[in-house]
Chains A and B, each alone.
Chain A
Amino acid sequence: MREDRQSQQLLFQRYAGKMLGVCMRYARNRQEAEDILQDGFIKVFDNMHRFRFEGSFEGWIRRIMINTALKSFKKKSFKNEQIGLENYQEDSCEPDIYSQLSEQELLKIIGELPDGYRVVFNLYVIEGYSHKEIGELLGIQESTSRSQLTKARKLLQQKILGIFKSAI
């Protein structure tokens, strides 16, 4: 399995689609997501011997993809990002509004978030990490993670409301 080309190709075909979906949430665009996916799968094949069959194989691959995506961003990019959120309006956003958007639309909106916000948002909301775990993963303070998530929510709401307002 470790260096069996056919098996590796089968494995790629099976998981690449789903993992590209994961990568797209972290990347700014499809090209970047594909780069992450490519690096991620190379790591998967390189480190196949480290999989201990103790958990889900898909989960293991997903974690590698997330780690690869995180490493593709600089730490400083999370710390130094300054977005003028003060200018955004504090409009409330009904939860159901998210249901009306397709996955592609949601991905597009998330992709437009600044790197730091997007990563923290993905890790917290989609992957289910706690702020403490995110802080450890990204090398930032727990409070930073918390504030970035708050800002990410606000920005996301603004963007969604903007879409609906323009549609109306």
Chain B
Amino acid sequence: MKDTYHSDDILRGKLQDYSVETPLHLWDKIDQKRSFSYKVKNQLKIHKVKISLALLLLLLLGSWGIYHFTHTTQYPEIAFTPSIQAAASQNLNKGTSVATLANDLQSKKTPLTSSVNEKSVALNEMVTSEKDTKKPAQQSVTSIDKNINVDPLEQKNLIDKNQNTVVEKAPISVLAKSDSSHKKITKVEKTSQKSTSQVFNEVVLNTEQPKKNGFIAPKNVLAQSTPKPFAFTPNSILNRKDFVIPNEQLSLSLDTKTRPFDRGCADFNRKEKARFSVDAFTTLDYNTKFLGTQNNNTLEEPDNYIQQRENTETSRYGWGAGARVSVIFPVNVSLRTGLFYSQIHERFNYEDTMANRTIIVTVIDDATQTESSDTVSQAGTRVMESFNYYRMLDIPLLVGYTMHRGNMKIGINGGVLFNIFMKQKGHILTTTYQPSRINTNGIEEATSYFQETIGFQLYGSLELGYAINDRMDFILEPNIRHMVNSVTQFNHPISQRYTTYGLATGLRFNF
């Protein structure tokens, strides 16, 4: 029921839309207070969801980039002959090393299989090449095994001791077809890795003579070649995860005498072991705080309290440091754990324009020389400024995936940080809008608001590395950490969480 007074209407009419002269001088103060960094922070706060999504997208793109980065070379489908197991057995009988693609090809279901069975004339060419690329390449066809009527792909590296060079022998499978315009091998791309062998990456049949690094196959072979270009790609095959060599063949073919010592060559018997590395790093952080109401909120005006907290507490840059041990599996997946210490910094600014303080004044009576005390109440503005610290020690448990090319490394990490303890120091406003200390183990009201441990944080990072030498990498790791749980107690009406955007730099020691 609203009381009505005629005077109210008069007052409302006069004062409701009362306007005074625009105080233009205030604009400068407002503009000054809303500095560039203030605006940036505000924009970050406004767009926190979008920024988080963008960073997530960046992480995804980064991981896709890693994958693409390492799988850019797409080799043409390899021509092959069917009945590989039979061929392999023949080759084994002859004591030659054979790597069969039976499993691989069967799994790929290459449509050429059946037709090749019927029409192909199998030729086994061993093309050799000199290792030293600085010298003019000496290419020759060293052997043609025409007795083998099917042509399994095989790779074999031999040492030509007489010439003191490493010679790689590789078969060229040529599939005969009636219409053949491609007669000569004109292009051979060789990888220039540091290995001691040459690898044929691609052999394309064409009518032209080879120009550079060309390998000439015998004309009687090429005359029957397939019109489709084909490639001989030992490494690409060998790198396939689904490329399985039957053990019985390996035991026969890769004996110790003919087995290559070249690291670049495939060594089917060798099993890669997990490696270890230790990281030492520091991170520079920017923290964003999220205050919200909890389920058991008992405040009448939680929004007011949140607003006051936001007004009095300003995020500052934080930092962290840590060490972690990584177990890197052969598939480039790594598990990381260690210790991570971090600090969140905030500034607490409080101003009470209506504060009153009581001063005890000692009064000395000159006449009697007696002392007496008096209390004086003084009104004024109370200003408080302090720096708040939230210190945390966490155990990271991360899964990473790292790729490398040359000296550069790129990878992603994700996982959780299990909190061991959290300690805080500084001041905040209590729910009664009074400033209070929050120091851990303190006795003031706000101290009891905070938890001793905060559960776990989610962690995601993009890892960039540069190999300084064989043992040491420089790492740069933009990362995001998000608190799942509040740093405040469950019975406190307000939840307080942080999302941290960090840039970590450090060194990795590989063992």
Interface residues of A (CB under 8 A from B): 2-3, 5, 8-9, 12-13, 16-18, 20-21, 24-25, 32, 34-35, 37-38, 41-42, 45-46, 49, 71-75, 77, 93, 95, 98-99, 103, 106-107, 110, 125-128, 130, 136, 139, 153
Contacts and interface: CB of A to CB of B under 8 A. Distances in A.
B9 to A, nearest CB: 8
B40 to A, nearest CB: 9
A16 B26 contact: yes
B310 to A, nearest CB: 10
B359 interface: no
B20 interface: yes
Nearest to A121: B11
B6 interface: yes
B304 interface: yes
Nearest to B300: A139
A38 B8 CA distance: 29
A71 B307 contact: yes
B430 interface: no
A60 B271 CA distance: 70
Contact of B353 (A12, A72, A95): A72
Interface stretch (B30-38, B321-329, B390-398, B413-421): B30-38
Given A21-B17, A98-B7, 4 more contacts: A18-B19, A37-B23, A46-B34, A125-B8
Instruction: Determine chain A's interface SS by DSSP, over half rule.
Output: helix
Contact of B11 (A2, A16, A21, A98): A98
A131 to B, nearest CB: 8
Contacts of A107: 15, 18
A13 B308 contact: no
B27 A21 contact: no
Q: Using C-beta atoms within 8 Å of the partner chain, give the interface range for chain B.
A: 35 or more
Interface of B: 2, 5-8, 10-12, 14-24, 26-27, 29-31, 33-34, 39, 42-43, 46, 300-301, 304, 307-308, 352-354, 433
Nearest to B18: A21
Given A74-B354, A125-B11, A17 B19 contact: yes
A34 to B, nearest CB: 6
Nearest to A100: B10
Nearest to B10: A98
Contact of B20 (A24, A73, A95, A153): A24
Contacts of A130: 2
Contacts of B20: 17, 20-21, 24
Contact of A75 (B2, B17, B34, B433): B433
Contact of B31 (A5, A24, A98, A127): A5
B27 A95 contact: no
Contacts of B26: 12, 16, 34, 37-38, 41
A74 B435 CA distance: 13
Which of B7, B31, B304, B352: most chain A CB closer than 10 A? B7
Contacts of B10: 95, 98-99
A71 B304 contact: yes
16 contacts: A3-B39, A9-B27, A16-B22, A17-B21, A20-B19, A20-B23, A34-B23, A38-B29, A46-B34, A74-B352, A95-B7, A98-B10, A99-B10, A103-B14, A126-B15, A136-B301
B27 A103 contact: no
Which of A34, A35, A126: most chain B CB closer than 10 A? A126
Contacts of A98: 7, 10-11, 14
A32 B22 CA distance: 16
